[in-house]
Structure 1
């Protein structure tokens, strides 16, 4: 067990946990496990959890990220990295129990299901390898971005028809009026299933959810079993009808034809099970996600007004809503062997509840994680769609529908608001979440189309797929400009509406977007302040950004930025901290020093510069940190003795450094034989011309998690190729500087072209930057 279990042991538990032995012997109850009181009290069907699962598991993220709940009989996983690791390894963590009933059916319920010949089998959701990927590849074509884009006119037409029907009413339940029926209609059209019995299908869908992921009482089980049996019967009847249409269009028709071509892969029983499952999966998650998103946006009025005024923000607003309030709360997995998650021993056959809703609020991965930030450029890294080979096939379909719903409502009903005092209720279940009603109101006299009828037909078409970070910018106003040192200006930036800008942590930076280019600047003010402060060095040989700031920028002007982001986090857990800054590199270092002083840590700051007059923030550093600050001024006392500084560092020391390339390269050499991870540095410059080299050749990549093999041509990056295949990989600078596009290398040699990895990390060969690095020859096998 790791130290974070100490909280459980401190509550009367003993070091030896009998849960593992009990699980190994087949004792499913594990009633003797000395779990912590909070772990024992965990109830995923409680009103508090259903209303806000992320908040209900905040204690777990902070104290006990992997815990066992005896009542549920599951190990619960709540942190981002741990949840993603479970998703990634579908061999160790089998999806076979994803559709297993939480509550075993009663004899009466089983008898009811038997009467309907209910025989639900494996689907894409709960199938193990190699069968899963064989079927997934055979049935993937309809989900490719180019094919999904063809559905946009139909989705928009359906949406407009629904809005037309209620736009003059002044009040409506959006779930009943459009958010349930449109996704179901679209799903049926996509499948090739005739649109009929809409109310019956809604009843069937709810019954399937409660039957699989809910906790029905014995009395409810009978009613649910009756509806599930009728659903199974209905799916079989529709399937039989579709078999009589050999030229039918839609995903199920394709599956039927694949059944004839490769019956050992797409089997008869598989078709029937998928028919039933896909009707639910194809619309329920999208309906609930859309409801969650609109509730969240309308609860934050200024955010709603901003996307109404700038619809280009909608794609990323959708991602941020999926992160904060996704419709998929959790999935289930089962361990196929004895293993570990974050140092916690997990026995063979243990059942896992991996809570993506909690992972999406993990502050270790998402800066200011509980804050709705529609400008967050890492929002698409959420795990609401899962990850790896079992990632939702319909993710881009859901994105497309949600964007159209929000864009149409923003344009036609920007004055729409939530009805005050309404109570939001949620269907009790482990997997899916969204309000059962969403009541909104508005004054029809203020409908924009009454004065501008043409507004009805206006629209914005968004590319299919996740937005890239470079599409996401925030407007800020220059509040103040001052001189920090020779050739260095200090800028204070604020929200144009006076709102607090998102909080940040030491080491974070923003990208200031100026015309056709952007430049990274570390934040150097107070992380708790409502505005941002950056220092800008005038670079005569730069790309023009710093010259524009020094010569043209004035207080009151508006600029755009991306972020904040933090790839240079302060590692607070160390016996002693050595901070080293060179020149303008003081900006992230001073914020780190402020934090270390705040928490009472043992630290020293070494600040190197050519002359005292050129050293920004030097006076503040001395005033605020006194004896903890050491200035190395070249024209006064010579250059800093870096070798002596590093020589004095013991094994419990962490070194954080930022500055010129020469300084960072020297520190890397001095720390080469020191413990891995001792030195952490940040660079904001690279040789962009070195990314693509003459003589580059194509190479093959094998994606372990997605079970795909792709070719990276000479003129394209690995990042471009995997994105084109529908795999979401985060990125930021795309110059090999930030490390955000790092992927794990399982096999093969890498031609490293980044400025992120150390010499030792490159020698290990375990990771690479997808934006710039390539194969050194031969195939690369990657954890994607």
Structure 2
């Protein structure tokens, strides 16, 4: 490939030149920048239309690469990008608002004529200045503080939809999705609503000026718009100072300035005034347009939202993951370091493509599949992560939920019009410039149902929505798997593929209107995308879920379920696998053994039961596994001798077990001499998560990445305390069973109450389940 040599002016000391010293003998074979890395162009149509797909090759083969055209190192995988966000000392945000395309002297002179002096903001400020300001200004962004904005957002949304509801055609960007978020942003900031048109133009200019590539002939016009924006922001701030007790975040900052004059300075408020309008407005407008476009491109998902608005919170998360408004962020390496084994020199500029992270198969199963019930959708990095995570994330979530609620209720028959989607070329923020939709006004449901407009869907502010992501499944068949065991095949009602799953996965089945939800491991073939299969043992002395399923599930009926999700993953790199199942515990183990067979791994399967007639799946296990299958049947005089089976520890082996608690306890004892994490188990139930305030003590949790300290009272879980502090933590069972709410622990002793972690993981003391586990002492430090 063509490349710059070290003697080229563009290469010497220039981050845009090739970073490799070609004079080094070890590198004499030529420039190691791959052809695809050399051609990477974030301003081209490929990146603008679909950033994650454009860098798919990098996620798969070259997750960290240098772009000579851009002069940046590009990072594309989830774990690497999250690590960069987490370490804001090594990876400074100081260039986040730097012009990615330097402007010429004429445009710079125009900016200077306006007194333009954009300074550090919450987005691009380093420590130690950043965190004191963030703490001082954060309270208005908490879920509790945001609640009083909801009526205003609903009223505005209703008013704007009223304007075009009977037209049959609209550009949602021009006629709603730009102006409503702008008005909400102005209300939140405390800005008067006049000059909306000018603010809109200025906001676009600011985006182009910072993240775009304006042509030389465009730069002067952009500079005038940015300069006017700067002066307008200053004038509005002066008005606010005359009425500091008025509502609004900027007035809140003015009041805080009196308390902390060295922290909240005049120049800081001016910069935040301008940056806040863009941040609170443009990203939400783009995210909303992207979400509606995505949903209308998936009519079945749109229809499901129309039928079940309870899915809205998680649908918003999945839209933000699959096609969010933030494509990438930028960071500056402050020292020599490494990312994924690639050496990154001090002073290197990084483009961290968060939209690519959101499509990383290593974190999101079947990542390109759009699934509004995805169980970990809120892991998306569209809002960033750590100390610089977007403070306005929950305001954006609230607006998007209300927009989608209004449109799905009033225009369920909405469809995309024929059009070509265009985007303002830039590296970081994206949304269609226009979004044309059509519908038949005669079919507007409010013409038949006057009470439609009075109904409201509760908005969930700031809480991951794992409890509102169930899907309706058709009961395709119910067959006898063994005495008292029903094998149930569940299919999509429309015949479309279901999400892919991996061995060890389970689904959560909702037991009608009983309020019960029970987890059942999947036991079919993971390659079968047409169905999910479970086997359920009827336990009349149990908690009621299995009895309900045996009574109510019949072929042709339906049931609601969440998932699949997997917290019992199989290590496919193990040198040997030992699978041990007892009774109905064969369900997850059978899928693991099937996978091991397909991969040609060294494995053996041990299955214990009281009687052959009570052991499920026997008919399929024998032909699949042959001599690798070992049956231990009580009434035939064959019992599994764990001490004999596990007498000789094997450092490279992994043991996976599921079954009754007594069996698992015996296994733990037999594995005492094995490596700490050799035994992996899945439990059926737990009572360890029960909280008794009279027996608990309060503690505080320092969140290292976010720079705040959260107080956890005796009567509150760590999970609840984190959510009240505007920190997103996923959860599901909230019984210490599933592992969804795991958080990393940096310091502090842990009172473990889950049944997820292995002995070695508990002893390591670097992770805990936020739903049930607590600090042993008065303080704990978390990697959040």
TM-score (norm 2): 0.93
1:426 and 2:423 matched: yes
User: Could you tell me whether the CA contact under 8 Å between 2:503 and 2:591 is conserved in 1?
Assistant: yes
Q: Which residue of 2 aligns with 1:347?
A: 345
How far is the alpha carbon of 1:183 from its aligned partner? 0.4
- Residue deviations 1:111-132, cap 9 Å, x none? 2211111111000000112221
In structure 2, C-alpha distance between the alignment counterparts of 1:498 and 1:73, rounded to whole Å: 48
Q: Secondary structure at the match of 2:166?
A: coil
How far is the alpha carbon of 1:757 from its aligned partner? 1.4
How far is the alpha carbon of 1:317 from its aligned partner? 1.1
Q: Secondary structure at the match of 2:161?
A: helix
In structure 1, C-alpha distance between the alignment counterparts of 2:302 and 2:469, rounded to whole Å: 16
User: Could you tell me whether the CA contact under 8 Å between 2:649 and 2:673 is conserved in 1?
Assistant: no
Q: Which residue of 2 aligns with 1:405?
A: 403
1:681-692 aligned within 5 A? 681-688=681-688, 692=692
Q: Which residue of 2 aligns with 1:367?
A: 365
Q: Which residue of 1 aligns with 2:524?
A: 525
How far is the alpha carbon of 1:576 from its aligned partner? 3.1
Q: Which residue of 2 aligns with 1:5?
A: none
Q: Secondary structure at the match of 1:224?
A: helix
Q: Which residue of 1 aligns with 2:658?
A: 658
1:247 and 2:245 matched: yes
User: Could you tell me whether the CA contact under 8 Å between 1:579 and 1:656 is conserved in 2?
Assistant: yes
Q: Which residue of 2 aligns with 1:7?
A: none
User: Could you tell me whether the CA contact under 8 Å between 1:490 and 1:533 is conserved in 2?
Assistant: yes
**CA 1:701–1:247 in 2, change beyond 3 Å: closer, same or farther?**
closer
1:497-576 aligned within 5 A? 497-514=494-511, 515-527=514-526, 528-576=528-576
Q: Which moved more, 1:351-360 or 1:596-605?
A: 596-605
How far is the alpha carbon of 1:50 from its aligned partner? 1.3
1:608-627 aligned within 5 A? 608-627=608-627
Match of 1:29 among 17, 35, 42: 17
**CA 1:23–1:149 in 2, change beyond 3 Å: closer, same or farther?**
farther
1:238 and 2:236 matched: yes
How far is the alpha carbon of 1:629 from its aligned partner? 2.2
In structure 2, C-alpha distance between the alignment counterparts of 1:676 and 1:24, rounded to whole Å: 52
How far is the alpha carbon of 1:609 from its aligned partner? 2.3
Match of 2:197 among 175, 196, 199: 199
Q: Which residue of 2 aligns with 1:3?
A: none
In structure 2, C-alpha distance between the alignment counterparts of 1:230 and 1:465, rounded to whole Å: 35
Task: Give unpaired runs (5+ residues) of structure 2.
Answer: 21-30
User: Could you tell me whether the CA contact under 8 Å between 2:313 and 2:465 is conserved in 1?
Assistant: no
- Residue deviations 1:554-606, cap 9 Å, x none? 22232211111011222222333332222212111221222222233333222
Q: Which residue of 2 aligns with 1:261?
A: 259
In structure 2, C-alpha distance between the alignment counterparts of 1:145 and 1:506, rounded to whole Å: 37
1:69 and 2:57 matched: no
How far is the alpha carbon of 1:659 from its aligned partner? 2.2
In structure 2, C-alpha distance between the alignment counterparts of 1:45 and 1:598, rounded to whole Å: 43
1:265-276 aligned within 5 A? 265-276=263-274
Q: Secondary structure at the match of 1:67?
A: strand
Q: Which residue of 2 aligns with 1:756?
A: 756
How far is the alpha carbon of 1:179 from its aligned partner? 0.3
Q: Which residue of 1 aligns with 2:23?
A: none
Q: Which residue of 2 aligns with 1:709?
A: 709
User: Could you tell me whether the CA contact under 8 Å between 2:335 and 2:347 is conserved in 1?
Assistant: yes
- CA RMSD between the two structures: 2.3
1:735-750 aligned within 5 A? 735-750=735-750
Q: Which residue of 2 aligns with 1:598?
A: 598
In structure 1, C-alpha distance between the alignment counterparts of 2:428 and 2:673, rounded to whole Å: 48
Q: Secondary structure at the match of 2:662?
A: helix
1:439 and 2:436 matched: yes
Q: Secondary structure at the match of 2:631?
A: strand
- Residue deviations 1:349-406, cap 9 Å, x none? 2222222211111222222221121122321221111112211111111111111111
In structure 2, C-alpha distance between the alignment counterparts of 1:459 and 1:707, rounded to whole Å: 37
Q: Which residue of 1 aligns with 2:158?
A: 160
**CA 1:139–1:23 in 2, change beyond 3 Å: closer, same or farther?**
farther
Q: Secondary structure at the match of 2:318?
A: helix
Q: Which residue of 2 aligns with 1:448?
A: 445
User: Could you tell me whether the CA contact under 8 Å between 2:325 and 2:382 is conserved in 1?
Assistant: yes
Q: Which residue of 1 aligns with 2:468?
A: 471
Match of 2:219 among 218, 221, 234: 221
How far is the alpha carbon of 1:478 from its aligned partner? 1.7
How far is the alpha carbon of 1:192 from its aligned partner? 1.4
Task: Give unpaired runs (5+ residues) of structure 1.
Answer: 1-10
In structure 1, C-alpha distance between the alignment counterparts of 2:91 and 2:191, rounded to whole Å: 34
**CA 1:727–1:688 in 2, change beyond 3 Å: closer, same or farther?**
same
Match of 2:334 among 329, 333, 336: 336
How far is the alpha carbon of 1:245 from its aligned partner? 2.6
Q: Secondary structure at the match of 1:516?
A: coil
User: Could you tell me whether the CA contact under 8 Å between 1:93 and 1:334 is conserved in 2?
Assistant: yes
Q: Which residue of 2 aligns with 1:491?
A: 488
In structure 2, C-alpha distance between the alignment counterparts of 1:287 and 1:481, rounded to whole Å: 47
Q: Which residue of 1 aligns with 2:317?
A: 319
User: Could you tell me whether the CA contact under 8 Å between 2:313 and 2:460 is conserved in 1?
Assistant: no
In structure 1, C-alpha distance between the alignment counterparts of 2:648 and 2:314, rounded to whole Å: 47
Q: Which residue of 2 aligns with 1:641?
A: 641
How far is the alpha carbon of 1:332 from its aligned partner? 1.2
TM-score (norm 1): 0.93
- Residue deviations 1:699-758, cap 9 Å, x none? 121111111112211111111111111111011111111111111111111111111112
Match of 1:148 among 142, 146, 166: 146
Q: Secondary structure at the match of 1:598?
A: helix
- Residue deviations 1:590-633, cap 9 Å, x none? 21222222233333222222222222112201112223322232
**CA 1:45–1:646 in 2, change beyond 3 Å: closer, same or farther?**
farther
Q: Which moved more, 1:702-711 or 1:467-476?
A: 467-476
Q: Which residue of 2 aligns with 1:298?
A: 296
How far is the alpha carbon of 1:451 from its aligned partner? 2.4
Q: Secondary structure at the match of 1:282?
A: helix
How far is the alpha carbon of 1:689 from its aligned partner? 6.5
Q: Which moved more, 1:498-507 or 1:681-690?
A: 681-690
- Residue deviations 1:322-345, cap 9 Å, x none? 111111111111222233333333
How far is the alpha carbon of 1:677 from its aligned partner? 4.3
In structure 1, C-alpha distance between the alignment counterparts of 2:212 and 2:364, rounded to whole Å: 30
How far is the alpha carbon of 1:648 from its aligned partner? 5.6
How far is the alpha carbon of 1:73 from its aligned partner? 2.4
Q: Which residue of 2 aligns with 1:777?
A: 777
User: Could you tell me whether the CA contact under 8 Å between 1:749 and 1:778 is conserved in 2?
Assistant: no
In structure 2, C-alpha distance between the alignment counterparts of 1:552 and 1:411, rounded to whole Å: 31
User: Could you tell me whether the CA contact under 8 Å between 1:213 and 1:431 is conserved in 2?
Assistant: yes
User: Could you tell me whether the CA contact under 8 Å between 1:191 and 1:252 is conserved in 2?
Assistant: yes
Aligned length: 766
**CA 1:576–1:424 in 2, change beyond 3 Å: closer, same or farther?**
same
In structure 2, C-alpha distance between the alignment counterparts of 1:140 and 1:693, rounded to whole Å: 29
Q: Which moved more, 1:71-80 or 1:736-745?
A: 71-80
Q: Secondary structure at the match of 2:695?
A: coil
User: Could you tell me whether the CA contact under 8 Å between 2:577 and 2:653 is conserved in 1?
Assistant: yes
Q: Which residue of 2 aligns with 1:8?
A: none
User: Could you tell me whether the CA contact under 8 Å between 1:380 and 1:466 is conserved in 2?
Assistant: no
In structure 1, C-alpha distance between the alignment counterparts of 2:63 and 2:580, rounded to whole Å: 33
User: Could you tell me whether the CA contact under 8 Å between 2:679 and 2:758 is conserved in 1?
Assistant: no
Q: Which moved more, 1:573-582 or 1:474-483?
A: 573-582
How far is the alpha carbon of 1:660 from its aligned partner? 2.4
